[in-house]
Structure 1
Amino acid sequence: MSKHDKPKPKPSYAPALQRGLHEVSHQVEAMHRAIAGKTFGALKQVPVVAQPAALIESIHDAVSAGVHAAVRLGNRGLFSLAGEAERALASDAPPGPRESGLRAAINGVFGDHLAAHGEALATPMQLFERGRHSAAVLDHLHIPQRRVCIFLHGLACDEHCWVPDADSGEPDYGAQVHADFGYTVLYLRYNSGLPIADNASAFAELLQTLCAAQPSLQEILLIGHSMGGLIARCALWQGAGSPWLARTRMLICLGSPQLGSPLERLGMVTNRLLDSFDVTAPIGAIARRRSAGIRDLHDGIGADAGQDPPEVELRFLGATIAEDSDSALGKLVGDGLVTPDSALAERPRANIARAQLGGLGHMAMLHEARVWQQVHTWIAEGFVPTA
């Protein structure tokens, strides 16, 4: 490392958690004041106890403010010590699956705030080779068959979500794509708390960089789960005229809420109800801090928000937790997070195929034999082996 190269800051959980707990403390204090204010307000309407109630209220407010301030001060000291310990124990080795998964979860909920504050904990967008913990160096990749398959994870996950437990007997889609079709498999890691459109733009730029670093690359296959499918599809909309789009053959979306998630819509309604009352408004303020990525799931990317390139084959797979995927219950609850109508984006368009499975939950779509069989069928259609 030259004297001009500055080492990148180590990701630290302490500052982000401290800031989050600090804000929660303020909102709890506001709710405490709202509850107490209603109580003392009622007492001050009674002539006999009005003056004593006012005095007690002033004492209560002073004591309450002091207690909450002490809590915040204690938190600052505690997390400062935690941050020092974290930095002391940090090594130059890349994070393993457990730490990476924790960072992914934090990014899913607060990732836009972390990025806005320049926190090292904010996840950068990177591609990873199978089984590697360090980001891929794009111009050093070995792509013998000139084909790559890129897997995109969903909200609050990372690339490790695609790999089943060793003794589970569940299919590993990445290993199967490589074994059956010869694709070089890459996994995208990204900050799922950022707006979907921002991640899509960054992904399009990354694909452009990949093609520039690998001029012999001939084919790109994209497989996205949940939010990952939305990001890939939105990137297709933004990639008109780009070399990477001309090399992209197919996008397969697994449980992607193309038309939005009812769970986030319920969250928006709940937020409005919380904001309607003084006592619960502080809780609503905390709920509003959820990331832009989560809020984007309210509407998904919409059926008419962009133009799907006709040269790219689109494949949408939906699921329901009900065994009968066509039942009223199946259509209502979907896979637990995404309804079939949203996952399948029911509108006729060229070059789109859809499939639906019953008895399957949202996260179970990552390692399921029936899902792999459908994915395999789609990839095999029109597949031309490399000579």
Structure 2
Amino acid sequence: MLRRALSTLANTALLPVRGATLLYRAGRAHQHFFQPVLNGALGDQLAVRHDPRAIALSFRRGGQDVPVAELGLTEFKQKTVIFIHGLMGDELIWQTGFQDAPEGPLRYGPRLAAEAGCRPLYLRYNSGLHISENGRALSLLLTELVETYPEAIGELVLVGHSMGGLLIRSAGYYGSEQLVVSKEQLPIAKLSRRKKLPTAHSSLPTAKAPWLAHLRAVFLLGVPHEGSYLEQNGLLVERLLQRINLFPTRFLSEAIARRSNGIKDLGQALLVDEDWQQPDDPALPRPRTTVPLLPGVHYHVLVGDWLRASRPQALRDYFGDGMVGAASARGQVFDDETALPPGTTVRTARFAQQHHGGLLYNAEVYQYLRQWV
């Protein structure tokens, strides 16, 4: 009896210690989320201040930025699949999802490597920057990749989740246009020692980016091609608070207005510099530059359907996957088959009762990727 009582007292005394240990372990397992979330919320401001916490666009391996020259790609003409996360995400969401839980279930990247024999590469970027800034940088990084490894890169496949899909479309626009780009404009971590950037005031060559010749397929998972209703509603709240014009509402509206440029761009899916550089008229939506699909590319548009089929169709379409409406995820640019460039195809797949984050680890989504990659 005494032994049992002493044991109970000991266990009770140790509860705070055990709870703190569990809390510490949970924090360790999720610590990799902090920097991407911070960058998604305020990354543009971190970049302006040259804050060391600001993420620079780079390939990633083993939790570290990897310059292109150090990727060490050797397999001849291997199909290369590049995974691009969304707002406040990082490269680990394509692998296991947890930095300190390697025993967790493998996700799309490692499984495709094992089962389809492709080469996965993972990208990380500052999702608080303008989408067009990251899109230009992505185009340049892909150019460096194919020029550094001309014998190793075969077909190129791009997989983007949410904002990551918009980066892909923006990169395609800038890769096709080859606009003037300065060194200071490119948020890239480290460039290959084999390749030098132009000087700050010189331009890139006028030919189309060479990575476009390798691009075979693009997979767009839960991408807000027509904008995010969450950001649209956030902007509406900000403007309503401004109109009330009391001290508490001014304080709240100013706090909301500090959200990053990347989040603001999601409201209308602004993919080109000129779109967000226009003066903002609260009474009118910003005019958007048309970003056409790329010729010879097979597009796969994957749409989540979060609500049950018993719910009204209008409600299901509005909420879509819980973060992106169904119409926005389908995208108007993919609807008109008569306007597709030569050799371009579009395939749309809808996944029932699948929320936005679930598109990253759903078995049916993986089987779709496995079939078409």
Q: Could you say whether these structures have the same fold, taking a TM-score greater than 0.5 normalized by the shorter chain as the test?
A: yes
For 1:143 and 1:248, the matched residues in 2 are separated by 19
Match for 1:348 among 332, 336, 352?
336
Match for 1:223 among 159, 167, 171?
159
Displacement of 1:373 after TM fit? 1.4
Amino acid at match of 1:274: L
Query: Does 2:372 correspond to 1:378?
Result: yes
Match for 1:158 among 69, 72, 90?
90
Match for 1:139 among 69, 92, 99?
69
- TM-score using structure 2 length: 0.71
Equivalent residue for 1:186?
121
1:206/1:342 Cα in 2 relative to 1: closer, same or farther (>3 Å)?
same
Superposed, 1:247-266 pairs within 5 Å as: 247-266=214-233
Amino acid at match of 2:246: D
* Contact kept in structure 2, 1:97 and 1:160, CA below 8 Å: no
The range that moved more, 159-168 or 258-267, is 159-168
For 1:107 and 1:137, the matched residues in 2 are separated by 21
Equivalent residue for 2:111?
176
* Contact kept in structure 2, 1:236 and 1:309, CA below 8 Å: yes
* Contact kept in structure 1, 2:90 and 2:124, CA below 8 Å: yes
* Contact kept in structure 2, 1:101 and 1:158, CA below 8 Å: yes
For 2:336 and 2:367, the matched residues in 1 are separated by 24
* Contact kept in structure 1, 2:33 and 2:89, CA below 8 Å: yes
1:152/1:251 Cα in 2 relative to 1: closer, same or farther (>3 Å)?
same
For 1:113 and 1:305, the matched residues in 2 are separated by 28
Superposed, 1:53-132 pairs within 5 Å as: 98-129=30-61, 132=62
* Contact kept in structure 2, 1:274 and 1:281, CA below 8 Å: yes
**CA deviation profile, 1:261-300 (whole Å, cap 9, x unmatched):** 1010000110011101223112101100000000001011
- Could you list the runs of 4 or more consecutive aligned residues of structure 1 that deviate by over 3 angstroms after TM superposition? 96-100, 164-171, 301-304
* Contact kept in structure 2, 1:171 and 1:369, CA below 8 Å: no
Amino acid at match of 1:314: Y
* Contact kept in structure 1, 2:139 and 2:209, CA below 8 Å: no
1:371/1:155 Cα in 2 relative to 1: closer, same or farther (>3 Å)?
same
**CA deviation profile, 1:175-204 (whole Å, cap 9, x unmatched):** 122123222111100000000000000000
Query: Does 2:290 correspond to 1:305?
Result: yes
**CA deviation profile, 1:25-56 (whole Å, cap 9, x unmatched):** xxxxxxxxxxxxxxxxxxxxxxxxxxxxxxxx
Amino acid at match of 1:312: V
* Contact kept in structure 2, 1:152 and 1:228, CA below 8 Å: yes
| Identity between Structure 1 and Structure 2 (%) | 32
Match for 1:208 among 143, 146, 151?
143
Amino acid at match of 2:336: P
Amino acid at match of 1:370: E
Displacement of 1:145 after TM fit? 4.5
Amino acid at match of 1:103: Q
* Contact kept in structure 1, 2:58 and 2:67, CA below 8 Å: no
Equivalent residue for 1:278?
246
* Contact kept in structure 2, 1:164 and 1:367, CA below 8 Å: no
1:254/1:168 Cα in 2 relative to 1: closer, same or farther (>3 Å)?
farther
Displacement of 1:212 after TM fit? 1.6
Amino acid at match of 1:309: L
1:332/1:208 Cα in 2 relative to 1: closer, same or farther (>3 Å)?
same
Displacement of 1:99 after TM fit? 4.1
- TM-score using structure 1 length: 0.69
**CA deviation profile, 1:148-185 (whole Å, cap 9, x unmatched):** 11100000111112223669975510012212322211
For 1:299 and 1:195, the matched residues in 2 are separated by 12
For 1:283 and 1:315, the matched residues in 2 are separated by 40
* Contact kept in structure 1, 2:322 and 2:355, CA below 8 Å: yes
Match for 1:330 among 296, 312, 316?
316
Query: Does 2:210 correspond to 1:243?
Result: yes
The answer for unaligned runs of 5 or more in structure 2 is 1-27, 177-207, 272-287
Amino acid at match of 2:369: V
Displacement of 1:110 after TM fit? 0.2
* Contact kept in structure 1, 2:226 and 2:329, CA below 8 Å: yes
DSSP 3-state at the match of 1:201: helix
DSSP 3-state at the match of 1:260: coil
Query: Does 2:134 correspond to 1:199?
Result: yes
* Equivalent pairs, count: 282
Query: Greater Rg, structure 1 or structure 2?
Result: 1
For 2:155 and 2:259, the matched residues in 1 are separated by 37
Displacement of 1:121 after TM fit? 0.9
User: When you count helix as a share of all residues, which structure comes out higher?
Assistant: 1
* Contact kept in structure 2, 1:258 and 1:345, CA below 8 Å: yes
